[in-house]
Structure 1
């Protein structure tokens, strides 16, 4: 947040909304209160501290901040997404719980939102749409990422074999919410026609039509939940490596950064100078619950952070690296 506030020229008393999220760490006072105290924010700031909401909480927090700003004009909103794994390190020997020790890492991101018209000239992106899908009513999805005790009473987070299926269901529902808002008419027509044909011929071998979301996006940031997650998303959306590269490289360099991962991925694209004015960016967050959250952004200017990126500057020139064949054989 220090780095963010050093880049912008704002009066801290104009910050009207602050949203923080950290899934497995919930201190007292809250992280929101810590930030308010550190920066001496105004007493009427609308503060929200999200805990236990998994890796999709970064985009969920963005959605919340956007909605609160709509009701409070002429204000700024700060969104801080992070994770603190130290308190939840698993010390047992159950394999399904040891995965989180190997995969997750600590990271953080800070985003400043504005609903002031004058800030349009200096803003990097405009939020076009956000969508949220919650599959918690389905037991399989609810228990796919689950904190519990092992047979010896040691607490850990268990990843079930139903995780990929749960992610697929959440993504499918989220695409149904977002698709009508962002897809071109031609794709919507084909999807509706396919559904109609399947309905009138239920016993036919007609396969469900998956719209081509590549036509609606120039940059895609898929939550770097693991190589299997990213690979499954590639297959589901029929993505070339160029579009999934930010997710693969974030996982390679930083691991699973939980709710902050989609912002590291966007910073990767910016550091590669691949975000141009008018580009449409789709961020996809997947997390426990099971949830899928999306944000659809429009770039308001060309962005080139090759010489100034805080997190990628030391390695961006060496990426992408060649991936092992079990990740799809891409280069």
Structure 2
């Protein structure tokens, strides 16, 4: 799946005398770029300082007669002053009344399955062999995928998959959904002291399991939500649906005043395990694991004091108009009628194209002006002078302090680390989430955020970029800003194991 190029440098030694000048050159370039970034970012301030100094000097040299003349001039133009003041007040009022309401993330919780549902590598392979559904070629394929996947021995699969033979019934799928959703919501309500009756908006996303009544109706029934709750159930939207759900909740909070919105992101494995031998449909069995998250959003101004984050931007990209992108993650039946999700070999290339489109929109919203100027300059040189200039890749590390890349697989994380020129510490949360919990679909970005908090790295003012990919094909981004130094919530998913991380993932 990934890491195929890592062995290329093994055994190659670089002489220290040759390596030192390269190192010094990279250090010099680094500080030149930092100096440029600082200069451009503070250009207005640096220009205003001498202007303000001149104004202060001139004002200090004014004599009393000049001041008296200025006051008389203002008195004679009282009507003008009042008119301007009225326009200023009116304009300010209109702006305050029509501006978007801030959306606060009060808290969130991630579901932690019981120890009995753990699926270590050896047990996974033993059960796969005992089911009798897989031939030797398929078993060997799964073994290789697991070895390279980046998953550890503590990930979870649902109860039905622990049975021999497996029991993927509707009843078992409902039981998995209830355990995950209610487990996350119980913790959320306990940690925030918010009563279910206070919830005005409910958004649930689960791609592959859509029973009747819906998952959102199951939550309404369980917690006895009020009759006028605005509930939504999103299905078939893939691993990026968590950001879509946040975007929908944000839009609803612009319309409905003084209320809470709850977003529940999960996936259901029980009825979507593949029991065939088509290689492209076996990969999800190896990567997807049990998980879910519940998020509490608010548009109440009083909640700003206790909220963890403020939502800054949501940018969504959809490549479904392209046939190859549309079919690269596709639920279908194989040649013998067994249903599964097929992953195309073009998946990473399509994901790269979707990412490029997404950051083209996101970049101007978040990047400092210094990076935007460099990007624009290379574009002008390429277009006007027909120069074969390598496209400038903006440094998103100047815009964000933390990155939550969907833990879809090791290849996904490797590709984004390379393309965005990130450092190992920037993708640590994604790699460790994949190792500890596997691919939990749309909820993975919340396990990653919980990891950053558990490590004590989230400081007031820090910006977080959550980025996820999903079938369709979609690439979606959410940007959050920390409102305080954020500490992990009670009963977090990393509470009893954070001291063991990060671990070294075997290639």
Q: TM-score per shorter chain, which class?
A: over 0.9
What displacement does 1:38 show? 1.0
Match of 1:212 in 2: 395
SS in 2 for 1:56: helix
The question of whether the paired residues in 1 share the 8 Å contact of 2:191 and 2:490 is answered with no
Work out the CA distance in 2 between the residues paired with 1:11 and 1:322.
Answer: 42
Match of 2:221 in 1: 37
Match among 239, 243, 252 for residue 435 of structure 2? 252
Q: Is 74-83 or 33-42 further displaced after alignment? A: 33-42
Match of 1:279 in 2: 462
Distance 1:314 1:253, change over 3 A: same
Match of 1:304 in 2: 487
Q: Deviations over 1:67-109 (max 9, x none)?
A: 1101111010000000111101100001110000001001000
Match among 317, 323, 329 for residue 133 of structure 1? 317
Which structure has the bigger radius of gyration?
A: 2
What displacement does 1:6 show? 0.4
Match among 490, 496, 505 for residue 314 of structure 1? 496
Match of 1:90 in 2: 274
Match among 285, 290, 298 for residue 473 of structure 2? 290
Match of 1:149 in 2: 333
Work out the CA distance in 2 between the residues paired with 1:9 and 1:3.
Answer: 10
User: RMSD of the TM alignment (CA)?
Assistant: 1.1
Work out the CA distance in 2 between the residues paired with 1:110 and 1:263.
Answer: 9
SS in 1 for 2:484: coil
Match of 1:199 in 2: 383
Matches within 5 A, 1:10-49: 10-49=194-233
Gaps of 5+ in 1: 326-331
Distance 1:309 1:274, change over 3 A: farther
Work out the CA distance in 1 between the residues paired with 2:401 and 2:375.
Answer: 21
Q: TM-score, normalised by structure 1?
A: 0.96
Q: Deviations over 1:100-126 (max 9, x none)?
A: 000100100000000000000000000
Q: TM-score, normalised by structure 2?
A: 0.63
Match of 1:240 in 2: 423
What displacement does 1:12 show? 2.8
Match among 245, 259, 263 for residue 61 of structure 1? 245
Work out the CA distance in 2 between the residues paired with 1:272 and 1:11.
Answer: 30
Work out the CA distance in 1 between the residues paired with 2:492 and 2:195.
Answer: 23
The question of whether the paired residues in 2 share the 8 Å contact of 1:267 and 1:309 is answered with no
Work out the CA distance in 1 between the residues paired with 2:409 and 2:491.
Answer: 24
What displacement does 1:9 show? 2.5
What displacement does 1:309 show? 4.5
SS in 1 for 2:504: coil
Aligned residues: 323
Gaps of 5+ in 2: 1-184
Work out the CA distance in 1 between the residues paired with 2:437 and 2:196.
Answer: 31
The question of whether the paired residues in 2 share the 8 Å contact of 1:271 and 1:309 is answered with no
Normalized per residue, the structure richer in strand is: 1
1:116 aligns with 2:317: no
Q: Deviations over 1:186-214 (max 9, x none)?
A: 01111111111111133x32011111111
Work out the CA distance in 1 between the residues paired with 2:334 and 2:369.
Answer: 51
Work out the CA distance in 2 between the residues paired with 1:190 and 1:324.
Answer: 38
The question of whether the paired residues in 1 share the 8 Å contact of 2:239 and 2:470 is answered with yes
Work out the CA distance in 2 between the residues paired with 1:177 and 1:17.
Answer: 28
The question of whether the paired residues in 2 share the 8 Å contact of 1:278 and 1:301 is answered with yes
1:261 aligns with 2:444: yes
SS in 1 for 2:238: coil
Q: Moved runs in structure 1, 4+ residues, more than 3 A?
A: none
Match of 2:412 in 1: 229
Work out the CA distance in 2 between the residues paired with 1:100 and 1:50.
Answer: 21
Normalized per residue, the structure richer in helix is: 2
What displacement does 1:324 show? 2.6
